[in-house]
Amino acid sequence: MTSTNGHNAGSQAPVENVIIIGSGPAGFTAGLYAARANLSPLLITGNDYGGQVSITYDIENYPGFPESLSGPELVEKFKAQAEKFGTRVEFDYVKEIVVDQHPFLVRTESGAEYRTRTIIVSTGARPRYLEVPGEKEFTGKGVSYCATCDGFFFRGKDVLVVGGGDSAAEEALFLTRYASRVRILHRRDKLRASKILQDRVFTNEKIEVLWNTVVTEIVGKNGAVTGVKTQDTVTGEEGFLTTDGVFIFVGHLPNNELFPGKLELDEDGHLITDRKYRTNVPGIFAAGEIQDKVFKQVATSVGQGCGAAMSATRFLEELEAGHAIDWSADPREFALPRVGALA
Ligand code: NAP
């Protein structure tokens, strides 16, 4: 790491205090807190403005909104509040970060290059693919990863939902608004979804759960899905289900393409942060689903964005005070196991 004290060779761009990468709940909350610390943060949205929450129809478990509200409504509120205090929002996509020099460099798809003292990564996650034949071919032609976006096109039709988690349950319930029949295909004999969603699934007359069932191929005709080949995970028996649409909710993958070789990732591709949301590079913090593989809630991402911005603020105060930063040292501190915990 070389410190250029704000004068990076090869770039005359002014040095930002904080660049936030990503516009989900973690990103906008980091913007709000950094702005209120007078840091005039720059938030670069990424291509999926608002992140996963923006494709959520109804949010019932974000505190403060007992009547619930839609994902896009919540994103607009997050943005308005962050901008009110001075967050600058750029609709652009970060394609490269340079972290072995300080200030760091952030380069975007539109050709902009920024220098910045700190970075808060909140790039989130995206839906995991099923990776079966026919999936790619029929995406947008009956295969979907977003009931909120595409449910409307299945009015009066038959649809399948693949997965057994909260997303599968929630989206299956949403699809009953339009579809005449919704069958959930789950690979085990128990749903992973929360109890409240399970109860709603089991009492909804339009929903049927097919247990121990995986999709092995999605088939179609004339550019539209007509059915899926299935396999029973217990007996191995193969089958076929006729349907008009396949909605896939089998988990998420962290959006980590910018980081290999630069920031430390775990075996699943999440950034490894400590309790102060520090990554292994001093001055780079991370919040939300890019570093959280446990909770993944709007409420937890918001808290993490807040924490990351407070840590970035402290880091900038140290820089400002002229404290020496050891750029070669990993700043993270991990709790030691408690006595007896190893027994
Ligand atoms: P998830 O909890 O990881 O569940 C993924 C589901 O897909 C699991 O049931 C899993 O089966 C199944 N699955 C994975 N790979 C599969 C494959 N190749 N073939 C067939 N099935 C496969 O993911 P999620 O439902 O997207 O939820 C992600 C996180 O967001 C969770 O923490 C969840 O609580 C949260 N979330 C919360 C809400 C809410 O609070 N309202 C709404 C949506 C999401 P197994 O069960 O056998 O592993």
**Probe residue for ligand 1, chosen from 250, 253, 268, 295 as the CB with the greatest number of ligand atoms within 8 Å:** 250
Reduced to 3 states, what is the DSSP secondary structure of residue 8?
coil
| Atom 38 (ligand 1) nearest CA | 166
What is the CATH class of 143-248? Answer: alpha beta
| Ligand 1 close to Cβ of residue 77 (< 6 A) | no
| Ligand 1 close to Cβ of residue 252 (< 6 A) | yes
CATH of 16-126+252-320, one of 3.90.1200.10, 3.40.50.1970, 3.40.50.10710, 3.50.50.60: 3.50.50.60
**Probe residue for ligand 1, chosen from 57, 65, 70, 167 as the CB with the greatest number of ligand atoms within 8 Å:** 167
pLDDT score of 264: 98
Please report, for the chain, the start and end positions of each structural domain, with discontinuous segments joined by +: 16-126+252-320, 143-248
Same fold across 16-126+252-320 and 143-248: yes
- Residues in Cβ contact with 199 at an 8 Å cutoff, skipping those fewer than 6 apart: none
Integer Cα distance of 280 and 262 in angstroms: 9
- Residues in Cβ contact with 318 at an 8 Å cutoff, skipping those fewer than 6 apart: 325
| Ligand 1 close to Cβ of residue 214 (< 6 A) | yes
pLDDT score of 1: 53
- In the chain, the DSSP E strands lie at 2-3, 15-21, 42-44, 88-90, 94-98, 101-102, 104-108, 113-121, 125-127, 143-144, 158-162, 181-185, 207-210, 213-221, 224-232, 238-242, 245-248, 252-254, 284-286
Instruction: List per-residue pLDDT tens for the chain, 343 residues long.
Output: 544 433 344 456 689 999 999 999 999 999 999 999 999 999 999 999 999 998 887 888 999 999 989 999 999 999 999 999 999 999 999 999 999 999 999 999 999 999 999 999 999 999 999 999 999 999 989 999 989 888 999 999 999 999 999 999 999 999 999 999 999 999 999 999 999 999 999 999 999 999 999 999 999 999 999 999 999 999 999 999 999 999 999 999 999 999 999 999 999 999 999 999 999 999 999 999 999 999 999 999 999 999 999 999 999 999 999 999 999 999 999 987 777 765 5
CA of 128 from ligand 1 middle (Å) equals 10
pTM of the model: 0.86
Q: 215-225 b/e with 16+ CB inside 10 Å = b? A: beebebeeeeb
Instruction: Please provide the size of the chain in residues.
Output: 343
The secondary structure of 129-152 as a DSSP string is: P---TTTTTTBTTTEES-HHHHGG
Q: 277-314 b/e with 16+ CB inside 10 Å = b? A: bbbbbbbbbbbbbbbbeeebebebbbbbbbbbbbbbbe
Q: Which residues are catalytic?
A: 146, 149-150
pLDDT score of 6: 37
pLDDT score of 110: 97
pLDDT in tens, 55-88: 887 888 999 999 989 999 999 999 999 999 999 9
